[in-house]
Amino acid sequence: MQTETMILLIGMLMVFIGIFGGGFEIKEIKVPKVNNLSRILGFFAGVFLIIWSQGVLKEILPNLSDSSTPDPLVVVDPENAPDKEGVAKLVEELETAWNDPAFENEFLLAEYKKLDTPEIHEQLSLIEKNTLLNRIQSLQKSIEAFNALQSLEENGTLTISEKRDAWQNAEIDRISTKDAEEINTHTKKYQEMLENWSSLSARDDFLTCRKVDKNSNQPIGATSTFDQKDVWVWAKLNVPQNENLTMQWLDNNGELIKEIKPIKVKKSNGYRTHYWKNFDKPGKYEVRLLNSQDDLIARQEFEVTEYAFK
């Protein structure tokens, strides 16, 4: 007996008990008398089971469904390829699914690939064949682009702003409903981080330079190539609340060579700060600025040339 049938029978029995109060026998089943509270509870529980057994709740509450994977759209017998009319019908169904964002790209790609066989190609017109191949290529690119976005989460060299922009300006051929929700979630997450913690308004608000004017607190000789041992770094920040930042200097291998913390910044729109470091050998280096949550908000690569030591 199927599970749905058993649930339906149990539900009907509980409703029957709720209405008549028990005190009857059905073959080997003996139902004793029950009190009013049990009758009421049994009645509603029975109604619930009856509705559930008919699949109504699964439509109202999708999370109760055993699987979110839809039924296959394309079923092809490898030994008996469908005729031209049958193939045309399958192509039409896939096109309908293509225009429905509820279908995920991975599912659609698997369905389209079922038609990418020599036997099926013989039943397709040139336009249908080109459409089929274009859909497969587009889905593959969309999946790869979305996977690349997800991999950004583990990228330690991208700032919060860069990650926000990557999700916000994602260029994907086909975006399913699920993809759109994830894009929105990540964009919103990084936007909130930028609004709540220190950040930059523009890339050139964090730069390396030859010196910083102490009176105006402005950079002098902005550059990424130094023929001097002293390297200055200057930053202009949006600070929504008082915060303690961290500045890190790294060598070409990504090894930390100096860390400055805490860098206390006060709530301000355009808070300026600067630091410097003296280098004892030439090479390529990097300086990073992190907020109090240890999230990267700015980075700059630079080089100290051999000329600085001559």
Same domain, 100 and 145: yes
Pair (221, 284) in one structural domain:
yes
- Does any domain span residue 77? no
Range of the domain at 57: 3-64
Q: How far is CA 127 from CA 116, 117, 124, 130, 290, in A?
A: 14, 16, 8, 5, 54
Q: Is residue 64 very low, low, confident or very high in pLDDT (cuts 50, 70, 90)?
A: very low
Q: 213 and 289: one domain?
A: yes
pLDDT digits (tens, 9 = 90+) for 261-272: 999 999 999 999
Q: What is the DSSP string of 70-107?
A: PPPS---BTTB---HHHHHHHHHHHHHHHT-TTS-HHH
Q: Is the pLDDT of residue 66 over 70?
A: no
Mean pLDDT of 159-168: 96
Note the pLDDT of residue 51.
66
pLDDT at 16 over 90: no
pTM flag (> 0.75): no
pLDDT band at residue 14 under the 50/70/90 scheme: low
270 within domain boundaries: yes
Residue 42 domain-assigned? yes
Residue among 231, 229, 227, 228 nearest 219 (CA): 231
- Rounded to an integer, the average pLDDT of 277-300 is 96
**Whether the predicted pLDDT of 56 surpasses 60:** no
- Please check whether residue 33 lies inside any domain of the structure: yes
pLDDT at 11 over 70: no
Answer whether residue 79 is part of any domain: no
Helix axis angle, 36-53 to 3-20, nearest 10°: 150
Question: Which tokens in the block code for residue 141?
Answer: 């690119």
Query: Is residue 89's pLDDT more than 90?
Result: no
Do residue 24 and residue 97 come from a single domain? no
Q: Tell me what pLDDT residue 52 has.
A: 59
Same domain, 179 and 211: no
Note whether 152 and 54 are same-domain residues.
no
Asked if residues 153 and 193 have their Cβ atoms less than 8 Å apart, the reply is: no
Is residue 52 domain-resident? Answer: yes
For residues 119 and 103, membership in a common domain is answered with yes
- Please tell me the total count of domains within the chain: 3
Q: Looking at the structure, do residues 241 and 285 belong to the same domain, yes or no?
A: yes
The pLDDT tens digits of the residues spanning 97-133 come to 999 999 999 999 999 999 898 888 888 888 889 999 9
Residue type, 9: L
Q: Is 90 exceeded by the pLDDT of residue 280?
A: yes
**Residue 76 domain flag:** no
Same domain, 126 and 162: yes
Is beta strand 296-304 parallel, antiparallel or unpaired with respect to 24-26?
Answer: unpaired
Asked whether residue 260 falls in the same domain as residue 185, the answer is no
Alpha carbons 197 and 24: distance in angstroms, whole number: 70
Using 50, 70 and 90 to split pLDDT, how confident is the model at 9?
Answer: low
More confident residue, 158 or 35: 158
The last residue of a domain, from among 196, 214, 229: 196
Q: What is the pLDDT of residue 57?
A: 45
Do residues 46 and 25 share a domain?
A: yes
pLDDT score for 148: 95
Q: Indicate the pLDDT class of residue 62, thresholds 50, 70 and 90.
A: very low
Q: Which of 196, 214, 233 is the last residue of a domain?
A: 196
Do 109 and 143 contact (CB within 8 A), yes or no?
yes
Kindly report the length of the chain.
Answer: 310
Domain C-terminal end among 196, 221, 251:
196
Q: Does the pLDDT at position 297 exceed 80?
A: yes
Tokens of 194: 């930028």
25 occurs within a structural domain: yes
**CA contacts within 13 A on the Cβ side of 234:** 21
Query: Are 58 and 94 within one domain?
Result: no
